[in-house]
Amino acid sequence: MRRLLLLAAALVAVPSWLVLAQPGGTTLEALTNPQEDPSILPAGHGQEEVFYACTACHSTAIIRRSHFSREQWDGLMDWMTDRHGMSPLEGDERKMIVDYLAQHFGPQQAPARGRNPFLN
Ligand code: HEC
């Protein structure tokens, strides 16, 4: 039992040690996504705002693989705030970000099922 506890403690300690050990105080985000910058997102009004508001906690990959309606993106903003501690997005900034997400990562961008991917 004692051995198990030690093992558990070591498992918890290792990730923070890995982050702290990086020269120059590199964050985990930078470690996992060293080359991401706003241009990884489609160009458009809100591109930079989305990049900087959304990559504090995760890379853009989780955004780029998503296809949601405007309502779903809007609801997701609240979920990210309530559940994950994102600073609340409000007013014009929220509108710009949700518009951008809905326009570039809307349901219509999802590959249609059954369509031959080589013919379009
Ligand atoms: C404060 C941290 C934080 C910020 C800032 C943040 N997110 Fe997240 N996000 C999370 C966490 C944590 C998860 C859950 C990851 C998981 O489940 O693996 C998540 C998950 C997601 C998902 C996946 C949801 C699903 O069910 O498939 C999407 C899409 C997403 N975030 C988009 C965004 C967008 C867009 C922004 C910027 C407006 C953003 N996030 C900003 C923490 C954050």
Read off the pLDDT of residues 74-108 as tens digits, 9 standing for 90 and up.
999 999 999 999 999 999 999 999 999 999 999 98
pTM of the model: 0.74
What is the residue with the minimal CA distance to atom 37 of ligand 1? 54
- Percent of the chain surpassing pLDDT 70: 62
Answer whether 41 contacts ligand 1 (Cβ < 6 A): no
Per domain, the residue ranges of the chain are 1-32, 34-109
Answer whether 84 contacts ligand 1 (Cβ < 6 A): yes
Q: What is the CATH number of domain 34-109?
A: 1.10.760.10
b/e per residue, 89-111, with b = 16+ CB within 10 A?
beeeebebbbbbbbbbbbeeeee
Amino acid at 30: A
- Percent of the chain surpassing pLDDT 90: 59
Pocket test for ligand 1, best of 62, 66, 72, 103 (most atoms within 8 A of CB): 62
Higher pLDDT, 29 or 67: 67
